[in-house]
Amino acid sequence: AYKRFSELLPKEERENACSARVPKSQILTLPELRANPFQHRICHVFSTSEAGDDSMSFEDFLDMLSVFSDSATSDIKSHYAFRIFDFDDDNTLDRKDLELLVNCLTGQGKESRLSSAEMEQLIQNILEESDIDKDGTINLSEFQHVVSRSPDFARCAGLQR
């Protein structure tokens, strides 16, 4: 992990990799993230940058690798998936988050986009299945409940290699 992290840094910074931050643009060159539709959210969720630039320290990088590893528990994976899918960082998945989530999963091209009616029906179905307290949003515990009933979640959500 240290070798992979330090290779993302310019040569002159590699000696001090433990105290360096890798820019988001470099993190996005990793093969595991290059084709991931949530790549920007992943960087945002795992970055502890006070500058808000989504750069990563070695510790951030390790956290990200550990969540994506096969040995991470489904609770850990679902917790981070929830944070990644919570596009507005308000600790709930509302209709807007669900629409962005569906668009990320189906692709950004016009031919793969759902119609407004299809999107509305899909969001309604998701909420009917997941929104246990019927408040119009999905909180972390509701999300984890749904995920616990879906054994292929980690693989399908891109949280495993």
Summarize pLDDT for 53-63 with one digit per residue, the tens: 999 999 999 99
- Work out whether the CA dihedral 66, 76, 147, 103 comes out positive or negative: negative
Domains of the chain: 1-68 (1.10.238.10), 74-157 (1.10.238.10)
**Cα→Cα distances 69→20, 62, 157, Å:** 23, 10, 13
- Per-residue pLDDT at 154 exceeds 60: no
144 token code pair:
């984890």
Instruction: Tell me what pLDDT residue 161 has.
Output: 42
Is the pLDDT at 123 greater than 70, yes or no?
yes
pLDDT averaged over every residue in the chain: 91
Query: 75: Cβ–Cβ under 8 A, 6 or more apart, which residues?
Result: 144
Average pLDDT in the 45-68 region? 97
As to burial, measured by CB atoms within 10 angstroms (0-12 exposed, 13-18 middle, 19+ buried), residue 64 is buried
- Give me the pLDDT at residue 53, please: 98
User: What's the rounded mean pLDDT across residues 97-125?
Assistant: 88
Please give the pLDDT value at position 108. Answer: 66
Contact between residue 137 and residue 131 where contact means Cβ atoms under 8 Å apart = yes
Read off the pLDDT of residues 5-29 as tens digits, 9 standing for 90 and up. Answer: 999 999 999 999 999 999 999 999 9
143 φ, ψ (degrees, to nearest 5)? -60, -45
Helices (H), ranges, the chain = 2-7, 24-27, 31-34, 39-46, 58-68, 74-85, 95-106, 116-130, 140-148, 153-156
* pTM for this prediction: 0.89
> Taking 70 as the threshold, does the pLDDT of residue 78 lie above it?
yes
* pLDDT value, residue 112: 73
Residues paired with 22 in a beta bridge? 56
